[in-house]
Amino acid sequence: MKMKRRSWTIFAAALFATLFLSGCWLFGITLVLHYDIDDEIVSTDTVFNSVAIDLTEEQDWKDNQDKLDEIYSMLFYGYITNYESTPATGQLYVYKDGSLSTVAEVQSKAILVLDGLALPSDSTLEVPLIHMVRIDHIRDLVMEGKFHLYAIATNVPFDIRVFDATVVVIFAVEAIL
Amino acid sequence: MKKLILGVGVILFLLTMVSSAAAVRFSIGGFAGLNLPVAQDDASSGALFGAKGRILILPFMGLEPYFTFSKYGGKDLKVQEKSFAQEGGDITSFGADLVLGSLSAMGKVKIYGLAGLNSNTYKREKLEDESGVGLAFGTGFEFLPQEMLSLEIRAKYHAIKVGDGGKAHLEFSGGLNYYFGSE
């Protein structure tokens, strides 16, 4: 009986030690945050703007900013209008700020997160809620909570507008025990 | 991760050899049940099933290697008044639990606690697979209407490291075990 009791004690101690040494991922919480983008992106092959995304404005983010563990996924929803009479292929990029001013700069410095958006000529595409790619490349930027979104097309000339867009961020935070 | 898998494999092999040599009682069985995500806004409950063995090392201690396939149910994400169904994802796990309790006691009902380590692969459509170590602990009841056959129900908390974060769920399962060897 003594041996049995001692084994239980050792087992319980080992379990608790493992729990503490393993970190807080054992009790992680996954949250979903919706960020509606009020501004539009108007983009041609010569002039364009980006939109600032500031997750730190959001209450869920504010409440958990110091407990962020991981960005699991980011999704995009919105409308893109192609004003040209030829079809275009849209792309979305993420960069730390709004300083990029040429298409070449965007393509070389920013991180491509959505590609292959087929934009029919003279029409508007509703982009359904889709996962952005290469999250591991923008993870640190998103963890900071502030970044810019750029939209361009791969063909020249292009003239597109992104509006009524929403970014959804799925992230992990430590639980408070 | 490879070291963990190799380590678990070696331990299981050695225990199997030892148990065979000593004619220790062991069981094999299958189980199925429900997987309930804990505090995960992007997933809902799903099904699980798997197979396991149990080798009795001591009268009150056993080791259970297992394989589990579990599913997170999907969730609808509402964006601008529109609803978009999102897939929950699949998890394949294998590992081993240390089981402590009245495992070889006489009687038809046995109660035990368990804890163990496991290796997991988390798969979601259109996203890269994530692999991570996991930890599980829980409790179970085993009923033995016959000496060689048992019916088992258990509840288990299972946390998986995904990136730097964690995903946890509760596993409720029931299953059948067939025993070999005598007590």
List, in order of start, the domains of chain A with CATH numbers. 30-173 (2.60.120)
Q: Cβ contact (<8 Å) for A19 and B135?
A: yes
Tell me what the pLDDT averaged over chain B comes to.
85
For residue B127, what pLDDT is reported? 81
Q: What is the pLDDT of residues A32-91, one digit of tens each?
A: 999 999 999 999 999 999 999 999 999 989 998 888 888 999 999 999 999 999 999 999
Q: Is A170 on the interface with B (CB under 8 A)?
A: yes
In this predicted structure, the answer to whether residue B97 has a pLDDT above a threshold of 70 is yes
Query: Which residues of chain B neighbour A17 with C-beta distances below 8 Å?
Result: none
Residue A21's H or E segment, with its range, is helix A2-22
> What is the DSSP secondary structure assignment for residue A27, as one 8-state letter?
G
Omega before residue A157 within 30° of 0, cis? yes
Nearest to B126 by CA among A133, A37, A137, A57: A133
Q: What is the pLDDT of residue B164?
A: 82
Instruction: Decide if A35 touches B, using CB distance below 8 A.
Output: no
- Which tokens go with A109? 């410095």
| Higher-scoring residue by pLDDT: A16, A71 | A71
Taking the CA atoms of B100, B102, B105 and B110 in sequence, report the sign of the dihedral they define: negative
- Above 90 in pLDDT, residue A18? no
For chain B, the structural domain boundaries read: 2-18+25-74+85-180
Tell me which residue of B70, B138, B150 sits closest to B104, measured CA to CA.
B150
User: Residue A72: which of B39, B135, B162 has the nearest Cβ?
Assistant: B162
Q: Given the DSSP bridges, would you call strands A111-119 and A51-54 parallel, antiparallel or unpaired?
A: unpaired
Average model confidence (pLDDT) across chain A: 88
Picking from B133, B132, B98, B140, the residue whose alpha carbon sits closest to that of residue B115 is B98
Look up residue A121 and give its two tokens. 């000529």
What is the spatial distance between Cα B115 and Cα B96, in angstroms, rounded to a whole number?
Answer: 8
Residue with tokens 């982009």: A127
Q: CA–CA separation, B97 vs B77, rounded Å?
A: 36
pLDDT tier for residue B180 given thresholds of 50, 70 and 90: confident
Q: Which of B4, B38, B40 to mutate to test the interface with A (most CBs of A within 10 A)?
A: B40
Considering only the top CATH level, what class is B2-18+25-74+85-180?
A: mainly beta
Residue A171, CA atoms < 13 Å, CB-side half-sphere: 27
User: Do the chains contact at B84 and A7, CB–CB below 8 Å?
Assistant: no
Position A126 scores a pLDDT of 95
Strand order in the sheet with A146-153: A51-54, A146-153, A88-95, A111-119
